[in-house]
């Protein structure tokens, strides 16, 4: 990914926060190129060069890390395309995609997708904290976001989720749903490529990080995919499944918090585990009460229904109402759990950012909050849909 040459579409560093001009420098340190046009000779803004716009890198308010550079964007298509690719591995996408699958497509498939996602992301985050490779240095790399800058780099968990989710989606749906396999393969290639290339463009990963994440996700799928049915059946049918699920996911969260000093990856890990536990517990209650029953095997393969105005309207209405309820649940639980954890462990809560860097606060806050979000996704919201006639 070389940044030399005018009008190539790759971002340029233009100025530091204090107004000092900054430009990418040559690598010179043996690092693998990891950013969008970061390496190469300094790029000066010459007369006649068109700059489409300027942006500040996306930042994470929890880390307090200030954006130190302004980015000149020369190709808005690439900029928005790879921002979209990055969002396919962020919370906003997950809180839209998984509910849509479960409420509107196939709850059977949605449950198994979340099981795969939890294992892939958990192992990826833990591996980061074991290997402890830093993010690509800037300069020479141009970073278009610093949201995950406090995390380690190897492997890329965006590349892992961007590989595992579409692959698992095709593995789970093909044969269960009637559609040409070629469509599924095209989806996998486009989705995976977009996410992987976006992490290099955004300056958050080297090529090696992305390749390792891609291969690691495939390895995890090869090992764990045969056990997905067993895990899902256990979650649904075993009498004491909720107790085991909650205990196991909490123990995994505590273990992940012991791997390294604080970073945003620890909270993300607890968040993923909490969501997985909540969905699994919600699935158990659904099964026990006979709600959201899976289609019987003799109805397979399922034929995609014709898209009508009524079908489309109900799907969008379910998504809008459900996601709003999930967001309200998250806000409410956050306001309850953080002060409660601070009070229980005698931690000052006047500085929330500092308090959340303590395991005693961050782990229960993330685990309980997103556990309730997952439980609402799988049980409470579908109960509401049944009550108001939207199921």
158 CB-near residues (< 8 Å, 6+ apart): 86, 88, 89, 195, 196, 198, 199, 204, 205, 213
User: Whole-angstrom Cα distance, residue 234 to residue 248?
Assistant: 14
Residue 31 has pLDDT above 80, yes or no: no
- pLDDT for 184 equals 92
pLDDT number for residue 65? 54
Q: What is the DSSP letter of 380?
A: I
Neighbours of 99 (CB within 10 A): 22
| The pLDDT of residue 42 is above 60 | no
For residue 82, what are the domain limits? 76-294+306-388
Q: Residues 135-176: pLDDT tens digits?
A: 777 777 777 777 677 777 788 899 999 999 999 999 999 988
pLDDT of res. 59: 56
- Tokens for 386? 């049944």
* Close Cβ partners of 152 (under 8 Å, ≥ 6 residues apart): 128, 129, 131, 132, 133, 134, 135, 260, 263, 265
Please state the domain count of the chain: 1
pLDDT confidence tier of residue 29, bands split at 50, 70 and 90: very low
Q: In what order do the strands lie in the sheet with 53-55?
A: 12-16, 69-73, 53-55
Neighbour count for residue 18 (Cβ, 10 Å): 6
Q: What is the pLDDT of residues 286-343, one digit of tens each?
A: 999 888 788 888 888 888 888 889 999 999 999 999 999 999 999 999 888 888 888 8
If you write DSSP's letter for every residue of 46-74 in order, what string do you get? -TT----EEEPPB--TTTTPPP-EEEEES
Assess if residue 169 is contained within a domain: yes
Q: Does residue 371 sit within a domain?
A: yes
**Measured in whole angstroms, how far is the alpha carbon of residue 70 from the centre of its chain?**
26
| DSSP letter string, 8-46 | -S--EEEEETTS---------S-PPP-SSS-SSS-----
* Beta carbons of 83 and 171 less than 8 angstroms apart: no
Between β-strands 12-16 and 53-55, what pairing exists: parallel, antiparallel or unpaired?
Answer: unpaired
Q: What are phi and psi of 291, to 5 degrees?
A: -95, 155
Q: Is residue 316 part of a domain?
A: yes
Instruction: Report which secondary-structure segment, H or E, holds 13.
Output: strand 12-16
> pLDDT of 200-216, one tens digit each?
888 888 888 899 999 99
Domain membership of residue 23 (yes or no) is no
Half-sphere exposure of 75 (CA within 13 A, CB side): 16
Cα radius of gyration (the chain): 22
**Distance between CA 390 and CA 321 in Å, rounded?**
10
| 379 has pLDDT over 50 | yes
- Residue 140 C-alpha from the chain's centroid: 27
Q: Active site includes 225?
A: no
Rounded Cα distance, 165 and 273, in Å: 17
pTM, entire model: 0.80
Residue 69 lies inside a defined structural domain of this protein:
no
- Asked whether residue 29 is assigned to any structural domain, the reply reads no
Token reading at 136 = 């690509």
- Weakest mean pLDDT among 82-91, 178-187, 218-227, 250-259: 250-259
Integer Cα distance of 271 and 258 in angstroms: 16
Per-residue tokens: 211 = 């390749």
9 within domain boundaries: no
Contacts for 328 with CB less than 8 Å, ≥ 6 apart:
none
pLDDT (mean) for 44-61: 50
The residue to which tokens 């993923």 are assigned: 272
Residue at 49 is within a domain = no
Q: Are 55 and 70 in contact (CB under 8 A)?
A: yes
Q: In whole numbers, what is the pLDDT of the chain averaged over residues?
A: 79
């Amino acid at each position: 990914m070389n940044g030399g040459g005018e009008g190539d579409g790759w971002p340029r560093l233009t100025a530091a926060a204090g107004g000092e001009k900054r430009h990418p420098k040559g690598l010179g340190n043996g690092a693998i190129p990891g950013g969008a046009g970061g390496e190469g000779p300094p790029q000066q803004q010459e007369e006649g060069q068109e700059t489409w716009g300027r942006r500040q890198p996306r930042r994470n308010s929890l880390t307090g890390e200030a954006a130190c550079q302004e980015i000149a964007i020369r190709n808005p298509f690439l900029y928005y395309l790879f921002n979209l690719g990055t969002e396919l591995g962020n919370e906003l996408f997950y809180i839209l995609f998984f509910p849509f699958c479960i409420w509107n497509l196939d709850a059977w498939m949605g449950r198994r997708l979340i099981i795969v996602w939890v294992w892939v992301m958990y192992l990826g985050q833990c591996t980061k904290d074991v290997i402890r490779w830093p993010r690509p240095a800037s300069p020479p790399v141009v970073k278009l976001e610093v949201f995950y800058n406090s995390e380690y780099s190897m492997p890329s968990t965006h590349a892992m989720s961007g590989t595992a989710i579409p692959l698992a989606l095709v593995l789970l749906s093909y044969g269960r749903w009637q559609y040409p396999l070629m469509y599924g393969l095209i989806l996998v290639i486009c989705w995976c490529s977009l996410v992987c290339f976006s992490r290099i463009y955004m300056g958050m990963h080297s090529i090696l990080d992305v390749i390792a994440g891609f291969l690691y996700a495939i390895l995890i799928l090869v090992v764990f995919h045969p056990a997905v049915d067993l895990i899902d059946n256990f979650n649904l049918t075993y009498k004491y499944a909720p107790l085991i699920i909650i205990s196991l996911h909490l123990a995994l969260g505590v273990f992940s918090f012991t791997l390294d000093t604080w970073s945003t990856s620890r909270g993300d890990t607890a968040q993923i585990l909490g969501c997985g536990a909540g969905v699994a517990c919600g699935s158990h209650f659904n099964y026990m009460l006979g709600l959201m029953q899976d289609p019987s095997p003799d109805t397979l393969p399922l034929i995609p229904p014709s898209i009508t105005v009524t079908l489309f309207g109900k799907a969008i209405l379910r998504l809008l109402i459900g996601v709003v309820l999930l967001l309200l649940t998250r806000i409410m639980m956050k306001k309850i759990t953080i002060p409660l954890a601070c009070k229980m462990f005698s931690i000052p809560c006047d500085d929330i950012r500092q308090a959340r860097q303590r395991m005693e606060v961050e782990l229960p806050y993330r685990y309980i909050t997103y556990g309730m979000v997952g439980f609402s996704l799988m049980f409470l919201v579908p109960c509401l849909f049944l009550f108001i006639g939207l199921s």
